[in-house]
Structure 1
């Protein structure tokens, strides 16, 4: 298991918020398809993503589907905002389903490094792999 590390300053971490309710992400965000990195305590974390897009201040997900069961299109997600030498800051979990973008965090400053984490529904015979698009 790896320890989460990254590049967000402590004062900026306090400004990042989980959305009050699921909402659409702004259309000036860019997308990526992060890959699973590790499993721990029932959750799967993606590889780190660095937000280098200053025009978008949210982190959202869309296009959600279980790689082994394409009919499973909902998952619970949260974001780990990482800071070198400090513990990560986590957003509240948000249930997201395919069909639209679901915002996981708002007020995210440019340069923030983050991981998207999802609740794994199963680990046997292998940890669940959920495919999704991340918007930031």
Structure 2
């Protein structure tokens, strides 16, 4: 028998992680409820989206900065750069897929020494982009 069978109400859905970023801050066990109008909520959500943050994460950073009397750091530019790096990494992976197709064609008997160099260069590029993206993830809150 499920929870829905007993109450007629489906159980709440579990939250799913939207990204693979590891959290550096300590676990947050306390919640604050803030009632907002539609306009206020839209304004806060838009501000969070501009910085590529979840609304609650943006609100927590902003509230903590105000409580500490410090300016809230602006990371929008870094997050935009991180997005570009992640996109470039995906493009480099697609290059690797194309190289795999070329290698498969070469298995039919042709031999080109440049192909190996291109494959190694693509692999180095992907590794460097992945390292850069991970470094950016670690430095961003």
TM band (smaller chain): under 0.3
Larger radius of gyration: 2
Structure number with greater CO (CA < 8 Å, separation at least 6) is: 1
Give the TM-score taking structure 1 as reference length.
Answer: 0.19
Give the TM-score taking structure 2 as reference length.
Answer: 0.19
- In terms of fraction of residues, the more strand-rich structure is 1
